[in-house]
Every structure is written in structure tokens, then in C-alpha cells.
Chains A and B, each alone.
Chain A
Amino acid sequence: MSKRGKNPGSSAQGLASGTPLGLPSPPWEKLEIQKSLDQNIQTLKTIFRDCSDMVFRSIEIAPGINAFIAYVEGIVLSLELEGHILEPIVEAYMRMKNEHPPEQIKAADLEPLENTRVSLPQVMSATKWIDAVEGILNSSVAVFVDGLSEAHLFNIKGGIRRPVQEPETESVIRGPREGFTEMIRINTALVRFKVKTPNLKMYRMVLGTDTKTDIVVSYIEGLADPKMVNDVKNRLKDIKIDGVLESGYIEEMIEDHPYSPFPQMLYTERPDSVAAQLLEGRCAIFVDGTPLVLIAPVTFFQLMQANEDYYERFFITNFIRWIRYIFLFIALFLPSLYIAVTTFHQDMLPTTLVLSIAAAREAIPFPALVEALMMEISFEALREAGIRLPKTVGQAVSILGALVIGQAAVQAGIVSAPMVIIVSMTGIASFTIPHFNLAITIRLLRFPLMLLAGVLGLFGIILGITWILVHVTQLSSLGVPYMSGVSPFHGQDHKDIFVRVPWWKMRTRPSWLSKKNSEREKPDINGNPVSDKVW
């Protein structure tokens, strides 16, 4: 379990303080809503002074009964306002007014209003200002009725949002095309479409004193380790921050080893990935406002797997997976191996190769280490420039980069042609790693390895490998060892580490995740293709 203390006080409502962290509490924090409508209007306008996006409207909902409506423009579905809120309210008050004399209406009879006609999913009433304000800011329409010491809150979240589109960062050839959006309800729905069991839990909490961001911890009850789920919830509850704008905020706050370069959670834009992870007993953390959903716990090998691995036939998958592992090593070691071999161990290369490298390096002014660092850093710069720039300019950058680094530098005799090959091989190799956060880690680790290789040769590389291995084996993600399957070794889990067995052999879930309930295929087909059965 985590070392972080528990905080029983915070609930699903999250942090209720309505002000930015560090500011004194506002004077209205403790105030209650008054019966007098005028007084309430006054308070409301004071609270939301200088908020030009606020809409205030006074209406007479029944003869003699005045009401006041407040909402933030743009974040509510204004179209629903008329038909779904105002009309039923007016109708309800009219009916009550007919049934009761006007002086009696201003009583508790009005309170079950939300149960009557308003056909909206979320209707609440607030008696304190703080709740009313929170509701308004959270896409609710607040209706204050004269003589009623509470506000009706109708949640009609709306506004313009990006529709469900094909994920841009994780494209597939075979597999679903839909991706998450910035709206958490759509995202949870996309997963619920795929996993239709009441055991799929969506535990909601609110983080961020100013942003009040919805967070949903999702897991399948019975599959996910309850201790692990509690651990996640507790860690999330401990977060005290002014705003959560992206899942990265949360990832850094709750990961097991904040000082490790290795990612201990994976993020995905794809509902099918999330569903698959949930089915294996992991949990997913949805964050409102970002299409990237966090998944934990993960192992190193999982970060080397793409979701298409499970959709494509297993021969192809295995071939591609091995290519990925080969290129993982290339991405990590190729530049340092080149440095070590050309500056310390020329005797290790075949004669013709060493002579052609020597020929290419003959007029190069820099040592191999400097040359490699120069090229690798400019490659990283090129990549970064390509991402940050507007797409139209990006192309110009890549052409310039190809010309300058690829050709001109060689012709000018500043870098050698073999080094260009090494750098481009490494670049391609790092793009084969399916999860970008692991790819960037590998790219980062390349630099210390290059320095070690430049100083100590192959011995330095071995030192580096040893350090990386020691580090990686003692890492964990939510308490699950990072190298699970290999270290600690579980023979049975090798069905989905370096190879992927066909689906009819994939009998169990990873053993490090679900200790109980690990079977995922019925015994009458397990271990055999369904077509083997005599019908």
C-alpha cells in the first residue's frame, strides 16, 4: 500500500472550497440562500461580478411568483433551457398556484419540484451559496424562486465539443477507429459500450480547487485487485492542487517512482485499449478535458505492445513484436556501440567494414563521441521542431533537416556517412516503440550510454546496461513489479510477453494482476481452436 496517509474527510464531492488555493475564503462561503429573491440576486451579482459570460434572467413563472435564472453561457445546452426546464417549472408552479392560495405556495410543497416534470438526468437543489455557485460553474442552470430559500440546479452540460474522431496518436490498420474526446462522459460511455457488465465500476471524484476536474477511476470489480483499486483512490484523494488539465498531472503525482525515467503508466486514446486493460484486471483513470486515459499498473513489456497485436493473426503479431524488440535494442544501444567499437575496439569489426568506416572518417574533424552527440541532438531538435511547428511549416523543417543533416553535413566533411546511417537507424528504431512515453525514455537513456561508451568503451556500455537492468527490475507500477513475467518469473505469463499465443491458447489473465478469477476462456475450447470441435 502507499505510504501516503488516508484522508477520510474528502468524498466524491472533492474539494469544496470555491477559491483558488492560497486566497482567503470568500465572504459568501458560509452564507445560505435567502428567501428574498432580491437579496439573492444581489448576492449572485456580487459573486459573479465582471463575469461577462454569465447570463441572468428574471421571469415570472406564475402570476405573482418571480424567479431568477442564472447560468454560464456556452457551457450549458441553451436549447434545452426552454423546453426542458422553463416550461415544466412554469407548468408546475401554475398547477400549484391553482391548488393552493398564493400565500401558501411559498412553503415546503414546492420542494419536490425536481420529481415532477423536469425530465433531466441531474436535478439538485442547493441551500448554500457555495453549492449553488459550484453547480452553476459545473454547467447547471440555477433557478431561484421568490420566497424559496433554495436554488434548483438543472445540469444540462453542453457547449461545443469535439466529436468522436479517429485517434491521431495511435493509428491502426486493423481495429476500431474511434478515439476518446475531451469530454469525460463521452469517454466513459465509449468504454461502457464495449464492456456491458454492472461490475464495470466508474468511481467519480473531483480534483483541482479551481478546475474542479472530474476524475473517474474505472475497474472491473472482481477482476481488479481491490487493494490496488483502494490504493489508487487513496492516492488520488491525497492530491491537493489548483488545477488538473491533463492526465499527466495525475500520473506524476501518483506514480510509484517519481525519479525514474521509465513510465509507470501508459496512456491511450483508444476505448478498445482501455476495455482490454480493464478485462485483464487493471484500472483506468479518466480525466475530464483530455482524450488520454491513464492505465495502471503496467509492465515494461506492456509498453512494447500495441493494441493491434491482439487483432492481427498471431504469426504476424509475433513477427512484428520481435522486430519491435530488436529495434528497441537498436534504439538504445546503436550509437553507443558504434562509438565504443570505433574508438576502443576496432578489432571487433570485420576488416572490410572497419576499413570503410576508417575511410569515411578520414577527414572528419571530431572524435566519434562528439560527432554522435552532435548528430543525435540535432535529430532530437529536428523531431521536436517537427512536432511543435504548424503542420504546414513542419514539412519545410523536415526537408531542411534531411538536406542539412543528411547530405550537406557529410559532403562538407563535418560528419561521416556511417554516423548519418547510425542516427537515422536509431531514429527509425525509436519510432517502432508503440508507446511514445517509453520511446522518449529510450531516447533519453541513449545519451548517458553514449557518454559511457565514449569514456569507457564496451565496458561503459556494460556498466550502463547493468544500471538500467538493476533499475528496471526494482521498479514497480502500483506495486506490480515492472518486469513481471520475467522477473519475478512466471512461465505461464510468457504467453503474452515476447510472443503472443493465439487467442484460443490465451486461457488466463496475467497472473500478477488477478490472483483470483484468472481464467478467461471456457474449458471446452481452451487450448484448442474452436474449429477443432466436432459439431
Chain B
Amino acid sequence: MKKIRAAGLLLSVSVALTGCWDRTEINDVAFVIGSCVDKEGDQVRSTLQIALPGSLGGSGSEGGGGGTAGNKKYYLESKKGITLRNSNLQIQAGNSRRLSFAHRRTLLVGEEFAKGGISEMLDQFARIPQNRLSSLVAITQGPAYKIMDAAAPMEQFPSEMIRELMNEFTKTPVTLKVLANDLLTTGVDVVLPYISLQQAVPDNIGDQNEKKNIQITGLALFKDDRLVGVMKGPEIKMINLAMNQSTTYDVAVPSPSGKGYITITFIENLVTLRPVIHGDNITMHIDILAKGGVIENNSNYILGDEKHMNRLEQEASKEIIAQIKTGLHKLQDQYHTDILGFGRTIHQKNPKAWDRFKDRWDELYPNVKVVVNTNLHIENIGAVNKPFGRKDVKLKHD
């Protein structure tokens, strides 16, 4: 018994001997909430957005603070290096607190860097567990660090704003994990949101600093790990839909009565790909099931009865199909990237056929025929069925 007690005592002493070797007080950590990767000549520029807890306004911290410039809640620190890790190390060398990458919200990659291939930087993220693979990845127009310093008045940090935007934009936002997964899967090409700064207000009004707004303006298309092009314009929404990534989307349908538009919001959608294969002829059916409601009608078209609604659904279908086809045309003929994952779908649904196709998929892909089948339900036309604010006489009754 005495021996056991003595042993217990010695063991408990050993706890104290460890001396808290992993301990880092929360005020000795610099939380990196966003980072940018850019190319400058042969070197990699890493820009980190680091939170300044001192100016976040916790109670009792008014007197303290980390010596901030201005009243920003973050500051940027940027260094060049031969690798990404190397440039991060240089940033650490100039920082009094230990950098913690676990809370990185977004990882922005400059266009230039992405054109040279993104695989080389990914290793650094996956190798260290402290680098969470949950950061969202986006490609920026021009250098990424410019976006990181843009105004985000709604959120505490621009990186947080980008994250929210990306969560809004797609059903499953592209995290580092999804990105790596797509890079390594055959039969699908990587697509990332393309972010740029847009004019928020006309030049002559507003605060000079807040005139530029961060916005997702396109899809960055990859072939293997290289950026090959950016798709912009109205069809990005429909391509997003075809990828089954669309959260909600609006379609402005030209009114069947002629003048004006009827806008429909689709709040629920499910898109499935269905390959039909005859020899080397591949037809890809894109089945779209969507439910939505009318949110604007600036024409004189009456939505009251079933006939009109069917007509409207047909028109909306036409609009959606047309836009998807335009978008797919660009993907197949111009950029040759299979971001919808046609190859993966064939691989999953018809593995034997995929065995025949996989070596020459790049040749086959532009020739895949696409059929878009829509099944739209406009369930809700709002509180008024007649156009609001128009006299009855002017209404169109077919």
C-alpha cells in the first residue's frame, strides 16, 4: 500500500514536470483568417490577413489592443519566398505572435498563380493538420492581396465576406478538401469561383474607400491543375445549376404577352446527369427538377389560371435550356474542360463504357451531345395574381 502511494505521488509530480510545453495563451496567437497566394516572378508571394483582437471590441480590452493602425479589425502582412511555406515563415519572423492557420476562412489564389498550376501549393495545406482543409478556395481577378484588403463593411473581415458569398453561391462550397478531391478524380475538372472587385456605387457618390465591392463574377475553369479560362456572363448561374450546385436562382422570362419580363425564383432544385451511350456516341441527359415562384411581373400578363402558368413554365424552360446550352458550348468547344463531371458520371453509371473512353476522353468530351430535360413547378405566384398597378383594361387575356 505504501509503495503504491509513493508511486502515485511520484507520478503526480511528473505531471508538473512537463511544464506546459504546448501551452500558448490565446493572446500569444495570431489568428490568420484569410490568406492569398500570388506569383511574383519566380517567387511566391503569401499575404496573410491576421485578426486584431485588440480592435474587435471585447469588454475590458479598450485600454489594451495590439497597436493597430486605424480602426481596422485586421492587418495584412505579405512576404515573398521560394515556396509558400517559405514566405509564410518570413511573415512569422516578423510577427510577435505565433501564426495559427486553423481559422483560415478563405484561401485566395491570384489568376497569374493559378495559370501556372495550383498543385504545388496544395501539399503544404494537407501535410500539416493545423492547416484545416475547410478553408474555401477562390480565384481572383488580378493579384489576390488586393481583394483581401477590399472593403467589407458588413463583415468583420473581407475573408469572412468571401466565405459567406461562396456559401451563398454554391450548395457545397469548394474547400481545400473538395478541391484536392476533384483534382485527383478522373473525369471531372476543377471549377472555382472567380472573384473580382466591382464598382459598388457610381463614381461621384459615396466614400472613396468603399466604392469597390467584392463579388463573385465568374467561374474559373481548370484543366488539370491549370487555370484555362474564366466564364462570365449570365450563363454561369445556369452552369452552376447544371452542376447541381445552385442554391436559388432567378430566371427572367420574356413575357408571353410581349413586352416586359416575369421573374421566377427557383428555391428548390435537383439536377441529375444521365448518360446514354451507343458505341462512341454519348448523349448526356441533364434532368432538372425545380420548384419556385413568381417574384416580379412587370408585364401585363395575367398569371391567374393554369393555362397561363403552363405557358410560363414552358417559357422558363426554354430560357434555362438556352442558357445551359450556351454555357456548355463554351465549355466543350472553347475551354475543353469537363467541370460538370460528365466523365465521372459515366464512370459511376456505366463503368465498362468508361473503361473504353477514359484514355481518349479529351477527344470525346467536345462531342458529347447534351439534352436538357426540365421539370419546373411554379407553385407560388405571390399575393396578387393580376399585375399590380395596372388597370384591368390593359391586361392581356390571350
Contacts and interface: CB of A to CB of B under 8 A. Distances in A.
Interface string A446-464: 0000011011110010010
B53 A358 contact: yes
B383 interface: no
A346 B20 contact: no
Contacts of B65: 362-363
A19 interface: no
Interface stretch (A97-105, A222-230, A329-337, A409-417): A409-417
Contacts of B60: 360, 363-364, 410-413, 416-417
Interface string A152-163: 000000000000
Nearest to B131: A347
A361 interface: yes
Interface string B129-145: 01010000000000000
A362 B54 contact: yes
Contacts of B57: 359
Given A347-B102, A362-B65, A363-B61, A355 B31 contact: yes
B26 A346 contact: yes
A352 B108 CA distance: 20
A201 B60 CA distance: 63
Contacts of A343: 20, 23-26
A456 B16 CA distance: 9
B281 interface: no
Contacts of B302: none
A354 interface: yes
Interface string A429-456: 0000000000000000000000110111
B7 interface: no
A362 B64 contact: yes
B24 A362 contact: no
A347 B103 contact: yes
A175 interface: no
B66 A455 contact: no
A344 B61 contact: no
A261 to B, nearest CB: 15
Nearest to B66: A362
Given A358-B53, A361-B58, A455-B18, A413 B24 contact: no
A241 interface: no
A360 B103 contact: no
A358 B60 CA distance: 11
A488 interface: no
Nearest to A356: B58
B102 A346 contact: yes
A113 interface: no
Contact of B132 (A344, A347, A413, A457): A347
A402 B298 CA distance: 62
A355 B51 contact: yes
A361 B61 CA distance: 7
Interface in A390-446: 410-413, 416-417
Nearest to A457: B22
A357 B295 CA distance: 43
Contacts of B100: 346-347
Given A351-B105, A363-B63, A417-B59, A358 B29 contact: yes
A342 interface: yes
Contacts of B18: 455-456
A428 B46 CA distance: 48
Contact of A344 (B23, B56, B160): B23
Measured as residues with beta carbon below 8 angstroms from the partner, the interface class of chain A is 20 to 34
B33 interface: yes
A363 B20 contact: no
Given A356-B56, A358-B53, A351 B61 contact: no
Contacts of A412: 60
Interface in B1-46: 15-16, 18-20, 22-27, 29, 31, 33
A367 interface: yes
Interface residues of B, number: 35
Contacts of B26: 342-343, 346, 354, 357-358, 361, 368
Nearest to A347: B102
Contact of B51 (A358, A363, A368, A416): A358
B15 A346 contact: no
A351 B103 contact: yes
Interface in B110-135: 130, 132
A356 B58 CA distance: 6
B56 A346 contact: no
Interface in A316-357: 342-344, 346-347, 351, 354-357
A354 B18 CA distance: 26
Contact of A346 (B29, B54, B58, B61): B29
Contact of A355 (B16, B56, B63, B64): B56
A359 B22 CA distance: 22
Interface string B49-77: 00101101111110111100000000000
Contact of B27 (A361, A413, A455): A361
Interface centre among B27, B61, B105 (most CB of A within 10 A): B27
Interface in B85-116: 100, 102-103, 105
A413 B60 CA distance: 5
B15 A362 contact: no
A359 B103 contact: no
Given A346-B100, A347-B132, A455-B15, A359 B61 contact: yes
Contact of B63 (A358, A413, A416, A463): A413
A359 B56 contact: yes
A177 B223 CA distance: 80
A322 B132 CA distance: 35
Contacts of B105: 351
Nearest to B156: A355
Contacts of A367: 23, 25
Nearest to B163: A351
A358 B57 CA distance: 10
B25 A360 contact: no
B130 A347 contact: yes
Contact of B58 (A347, A359, A452, A463): A359
Contact of A362 (B22, B53, B102, B156): B53
Contacts of B29: 346, 358
B271 to A, nearest CB: 32
Contact of A358 (B15, B20, B56): B56
Interface centre among A343, A357, A358, A455 (most CB of B within 10 A): A358
Contacts of B56: 355-356, 358-359
A362 B58 contact: yes
Interface centre among A354, A368, A412 (most CB of B within 10 A): A354
A454 B66 CA distance: 25
A407 to B, nearest CB: 10
Interface centre among B61, B64, B100, B102 (most CB of A within 10 A): B61
Nearest to B20: A455
Nearest to A341: B26
Contacts of A451: 15
A308 to B, nearest CB: 39
A71 to B, nearest CB: 52
Nearest to A363: B64
B24 to A, nearest CB: 7
A118 to B, nearest CB: 58
A39 to B, nearest CB: 58
A130 to B, nearest CB: 42
Given A351-B105, A360-B60, 16 more contacts: A342-B25, A343-B20, A343-B23, A346-B24, A346-B102, A355-B33, A359-B53, A359-B57, A360-B58, A362-B53, A364-B27, A367-B25, A417-B58, A455-B18, A455-B20, A456-B18
23 contacts: A343-B20, A343-B23, A344-B23, A346-B31, A347-B100, A354-B26, A356-B58, A358-B27, A358-B51, A358-B56, A360-B61, A361-B26, A362-B58, A362-B66, A363-B61, A367-B23, A368-B25, A412-B60, A451-B15, A455-B16, A455-B20, A456-B20, A457-B22
Sorted nearest first, the 7 A-B pairs with minimum C-beta distance are A363-B64, A359-B58, A347-B102, A360-B58, A359-B56, A358-B53, A362-B61
